[in-house]
A and B are shown apart, each in its own frame.
Chain A
Amino acid sequence: MPRFDEGRPEMTLEEFRLLRDHVYAHCGILIHEDMKFVMERRLWPRLEALGLTDFGAYHRYLRYDAQRIAELEAAVESLTTHETYFFREPAQLKAFCEELLPLLEKKNARTRRLRLWSAGCSSGEEAYTVAMLLKDSGRFDDWDVEVHGTDLSRRVLAVARRAEYGPSALRATPPDLMERFFVPAGVNRVRVRDDVRAWVSFGHHNLADEATSQLVPRTDVVFCRNVMIYFDQAMRRRVLGVIRDRLCPGGYLLLGHAENLLSLGADFELVHLKGDLVYRRPELPAGEGR
């Protein structure tokens, strides 16, 4: 068996648990015991960068160092997968365009205002994809539209704001949309066009932090895809509470294709679209205000 870990320290079970608990306390991300190997591999580069020799020293660094907050963010960033690309999960996006957008156009016709939230937006591909789909629909051209992307990682937010991407991020982008919504930005790189960027904003947000969620605008649709997988049941409930709070009554929640709200209580209605299953914050019964 080839070795990929020459000279690298092994993480003891105790170190794993101390680090896991530390991460959980910070952001609610739960790392299961069978992920020790993954955690070890993802944190090795952090130890290398800091010149530390073992994971016990890394735990102490996270507890005591003046840079501990920044480092904890770097650790969380390493532990979570930022795998994302434009036009991911096309079946869901098709249902969003063909079934939800007409409903939203009708529902918000009076205010001509539309707010969408990409919760856990990573490097911005999802938020820009949503904005492109809105543009492409032609329904909201003179509306007040904002797609707000948030993430725990400040580094990926910086990438999102730059809006420059390489071939991997574009591997599922249809050629006609590629032509319409991107401009060249160097070898093998493109940049999202300014008119799309004008509809998209980004901010730092820890989904586990109920207090700062007030900073997220009230929204008509939340995309929270492949984010809940990092949380345990208790934290999922908490995050769902935050999302529900930020959704307008009758607003929609779109999860990743492998995610559902089973056994998480039923504060959302399941809506069967022709092409997808989505969740909706129930409309308030007549007479109750927002």
Chain B
Amino acid sequence: MSDAVQSLAGQEEVRYRALQAVDPRAPGALETFTEGLHDESWRVRHAAAEGLRRLPDAEGVAARLISVLGERGETGARNAAAEALAGMGTVALRPVVHLLEHEDPDQRKLAVDILGHLGRAEVEDVLLRSLSDVDLNVRVSAAEALGRIGGEAAVRALEALLDADTSLLRLAAMEGLAALRKAPPTARVMALADEPLLQRSALRLLGLCPPGASTERICRALDSSVRSVREAALVALGTQATGLGPYERNELDAVARSVLSRIPEMTARVAQALDVEDVRIRAGALVAAGALGEASLALAVAEVAREDRLLREVLFTLGQLGADGRRLLLKNMGALSLPARTVAAEALVLLVDATSVPELCALLEWAEDDLRAVVVRALGRTRSPEALLPLVGLLADASLSGTATRALDQLIAVHPLAALAALETAVEQRTTPVAVAVLGRLGGVKVLPLLRRLARDVESSWRAAAVEAASRVSGEAGLELARGALADESAPVRIAAVRALGRQGGQEAGSFLGLALKDEDRAVRLAAVEAVGAGGATERALDLEALVRHGDGALAVLAVRALAKLGKVGSGMLWDALGHPDTEVVKAALAALTSAEGATDGAALAVSLVGHPRWDVRAAAARVLGDLGRPECLPVLQHALSVEHDALARKALVDAVARLSGR
């Protein structure tokens, strides 16, 4: 960069900083900032507009800015003044509306533009009147502004303008309606779509129409020689496909397929559109690709997954490309980007068969963790005995063992003997303790001697796995091993014992769980609380009630949930829980209320929470009141609804009010 350029940049910086340093309350600030609006640098003008908004005399500022709007030849200053006025809110409304009476049409146009940017519904009438202005540019701007504000009257006026004798006005009206997402009747839009100047806007509106004739017209536009028309058609196709139910989507796809399959080089055009910058065009290209069902587009479709927002459509489209498309993906995994690989792998899960094992195993060699998890699922679906060994090996991978276990379950169902042999070998070779759990489930009492031996293993992870597995095989042996394991020096082994006891249930297990509730290790205590609920140890209810008041929210939440499972939800416990500082405990108590037969004042408890500071607690309280079905709570809910601002809490209140009103 030359020194001269650097010097100029330095001067701009000085002016910019000087404006930022101006005290808005200082005398002369208004003039300083107004002068700044005339600076040659956009950055300085922007800083001046921001500064003006900070001045205390907002009305004086608005008046001064209105005067700048009248400075002919000062385009930069006028635009900066308009920007400042548009950012001033209500205070700018009156002077800007007044400007609509100015004799200069340019000023009236600027005023309409500003009103559009202010976006206040109260100026709808004023803008409707501007639709009758003698100057065409003002009328066009008014139509555009109404497209930003959009009440019912605006929609009617814009629809009426579709018959205007000037194309420019019809165009502005269509754009306004498209911005408001209000489509006129399909036939009316179709007629406009034949006018070259209006075609792109008409396509936008057709995208808002229900599928059918509109889809056919949109797809025909994909044969246009004009690129921008083809792109508008793709955007429309993407818009139309959004949020459709299965039946309507099938209709759209069928119509699109019949038109697109007759257009020469359609596949190449769709491939090109799948790679453009504009995400709306890519969305439409996905719909077109799916309708065509062209397998060769699979890689390009998968690459669209780089845009998170299109993930759902990508998955859907890959499903439409059939087995050939998915085979193409499998062959080219290495060349795809990470998001494309992940989404392609999801699609592959549905494709795989017994012949896919070698390719899937090759993928496991180099794929990233996210992708490997999907590959593991796919291995389970191959139903091939060849997949057993790789999956047993993957049990040792902490991040994949859960998925591998579920995948193994699918193979065990069809190859139990081979699976048993593979798991026994894995345990003998001490591949991973995770194999013990699967082996226990599969081998049953036959493997009990092995489990007993492993319960005395030198490594705690093997002892824990054996104790838990034994409890699934045999109640008696499980209880015996769990009792011994409760005295283990390792917390994970004691946790395994606690889970085993919860699985067994019964008085003896309940008695042991009482000890575990007092364990020195927090994780053991947490597991014990859950186990008490799971095992139905009602004799431990008092212990749990004490824990509801515990400062550790995790313990308190689990205690409330366990008490609900035991059917021991009393008023005292509920009040304790509802007063807990942790809102998760409060929500757990609210969830328990509906099962609280003894808690006759349940409704009163929930009512006390409809004004809670947290939205999720208010929503939970509303749901409970709806479930309890007590009509006397209706006024409270209606009042809460009248003051509720949070969307999710409002939805819960609306549902509850509807239920209690019998609607």
Bound-state CA distance A206–B361 (Å) is: 36
| Least distance between A250 CB and chain B CB atoms (Å) | 9
Does B46 have its Cβ within 8 Å of any Cβ on chain A? yes
Encode contact with B along A1-34: 1 for CB under 8 Å, 0 otherwise.
1101000000001100110000000000000001
Does A90 have its Cβ within 8 Å of any Cβ on chain B? no
Bound-state CA distance A285–B18 (Å) is: 12
Does A144 have its Cβ within 8 Å of any Cβ on chain B? no
Given contacts A17-B648, A48-B406, contact A167 B616 (CB under 8 A): no
Which residues from A are CB-within-8-Å of B47? 266
Does B191 have its Cβ within 8 Å of any Cβ on chain A? no
Inter-subunit contact B334/A188 (CB<8 Å): yes
Which residues from A are CB-within-8-Å of B554? 60, 63-65
Encode contact with A along B181-221: 1 for CB under 8 Å, 0 otherwise.
00000000000000000000000000000000000000000
| Least distance between A265 CB and chain B CB atoms (Å) | 9
* In the complex, chain A residues 174-206 whose Cβ is within 8 Å of any chain B Cβ: 187-189
Which residues from B are CB-within-8-Å of A48? 373, 402-403, 406
Bound-state CA distance A41–B366 (Å) is: 22
Does A38 have its Cβ within 8 Å of any Cβ on chain B? yes
Contact partner, A64, options B1, B319, B553, Cβ 8 Å? B553
* In the complex, chain A residues 154-187 whose Cβ is within 8 Å of any chain B Cβ: 155, 166-168, 171, 187
Encode contact with A along B337-348: 1 for CB under 8 Å, 0 otherwise.
111010000110
Inter-subunit contact B403/A81 (CB<8 Å): no
Does A282 have its Cβ within 8 Å of any Cβ on chain B? yes
Inter-subunit contact A168/B341 (CB<8 Å): yes
Does A69 have its Cβ within 8 Å of any Cβ on chain B? no
Does A289 have its Cβ within 8 Å of any Cβ on chain B? no
Does B430 have its Cβ within 8 Å of any Cβ on chain A? no
Does A117 have its Cβ within 8 Å of any Cβ on chain B? no
- Residue of chain B at shortest CB distance from A265: B50
Question: Which of A4, A13, A269 has the largest number of chain B CB atoms within 10 A?
Answer: A4
Does B399 have its Cβ within 8 Å of any Cβ on chain A? yes
Question: Which of A63, A64, A82 has the largest number of chain B CB atoms within 10 A?
Answer: A64
Inter-subunit contact A1/B319 (CB<8 Å): yes
Which residues from B are CB-within-8-Å of A17? 616, 648
Q: How many A-B residue pairs have CB under 8 A?
A: 109
Inter-subunit contact B319/A2 (CB<8 Å): yes
- Residue of chain A at shortest CB distance from B366: A166
- Residue of chain A at shortest CB distance from B582: A63
- Residue of chain B at shortest CB distance from A31: B308
| Least distance between A227 CB and chain B CB atoms (Å) | 15
| Least distance between A7 CB and chain B CB atoms (Å) | 9
Which residues from A are CB-within-8-Å of B43? 266, 269-270
Bound-state CA distance A224–B14 (Å) is: 27
Inter-subunit contact A35/B309 (CB<8 Å): yes
Does A96 have its Cβ within 8 Å of any Cβ on chain B? no
Does A91 have its Cβ within 8 Å of any Cβ on chain B? no
| Least distance between A133 CB and chain B CB atoms (Å) | 20
| Least distance between B498 CB and chain A CB atoms (Å) | 16
| Least distance between B562 CB and chain A CB atoms (Å) | 14
Does B522 have its Cβ within 8 Å of any Cβ on chain A? yes
| Least distance between B623 CB and chain A CB atoms (Å) | 10
* In the complex, chain B residues 332-379 whose Cβ is within 8 Å of any chain A Cβ: 334-339, 341, 346-347, 349-350, 365-366, 368-370, 373
Inter-subunit contact B246/A266 (CB<8 Å): no
Does B40 have its Cβ within 8 Å of any Cβ on chain A? no
Inter-subunit contact B616/A189 (CB<8 Å): no
Contact partner, A168, options B10, B17, B311, B338, Cβ 8 Å? B338
| Least distance between B396 CB and chain A CB atoms (Å) | 14
- Residue of chain B at shortest CB distance from A21: B616
Which residues from B are CB-within-8-Å of A38? 308-309, 311
Inter-subunit contact A45/B373 (CB<8 Å): yes
Number of chain A residues close to chain B: CB under 8 A: 44
Inter-subunit contact A81/B557 (CB<8 Å): no
Number of chain B residues close to chain A: CB under 8 A: 56
Inter-subunit contact A285/B14 (CB<8 Å): yes
Which residues from A are CB-within-8-Å of B350? 2, 4
Bound-state CA distance A50–B90 (Å) is: 53
Bound-state CA distance A188–B336 (Å) is: 14
Bound-state CA distance A109–B229 (Å) is: 54
| Least distance between A272 CB and chain B CB atoms (Å) | 10
* In the complex, chain A residues 38-91 whose Cβ is within 8 Å of any chain B Cβ: 38, 41, 45, 48-51, 60, 63-66, 78, 81-83, 85
Does A37 have its Cβ within 8 Å of any Cβ on chain B? yes
Inter-subunit contact A285/B13 (CB<8 Å): yes
Does A141 have its Cβ within 8 Å of any Cβ on chain B? no
Inter-subunit contact A187/B365 (CB<8 Å): yes
Bound-state CA distance A248–B628 (Å) is: 63
Inter-subunit contact B306/A81 (CB<8 Å): yes
* In the complex, chain A residues 241-290 whose Cβ is within 8 Å of any chain B Cβ: 258, 266, 269-271, 282-283, 285
Given contacts A60-B557, A189-B366, contact A41 B334 (CB under 8 A): no
- Residue of chain B at shortest CB distance from A189: B366
- Residue of chain A at shortest CB distance from B339: A83
Contact partner, B334, options A18, A66, A166, Cβ 8 Å? A166
Which residues from B are CB-within-8-Å of A50? 402
Bound-state CA distance A60–B401 (Å) is: 22
Contact partner, A282, options B13, B349, B373, B402, Cβ 8 Å? B13
Bound-state CA distance A282–B6 (Å) is: 10
Bound-state CA distance A65–B366 (Å) is: 32
Inter-subunit contact A34/B10 (CB<8 Å): no
Contact partner, A78, options B311, B365, B370, B401, Cβ 8 Å? B370
Given contacts A4-B349, A38-B311, A49-B399, contact A167 B306 (CB under 8 A): no
Bound-state CA distance A85–B648 (Å) is: 40
Bound-state CA distance A282–B10 (Å) is: 8
* In the complex, chain B residues 519-542 whose Cβ is within 8 Å of any chain A Cβ: 522-523
Bound-state CA distance A17–B249 (Å) is: 29
Encode contact with B along A80-108: 1 for CB under 8 Å, 0 otherwise.
01110100000000000000000100000
Which residues from A are CB-within-8-Å of B522? 66
Question: Which of A34, A167, A266 has the largest number of chain B CB atoms within 10 A?
Answer: A266
Bound-state CA distance A149–B649 (Å) is: 42
Other than the given A48-B402, A49-B399, A266-B47, 10 more pairs (CB < 8 A) read A1-B249, A4-B319, A14-B648, A45-B373, A64-B552, A166-B366, A189-B366, A266-B16, A270-B43, A283-B10
Subset of 6 A-B contacts with CB under 8 Å: A17-B616, A17-B648, A49-B402, A168-B337, A171-B335, A270-B43
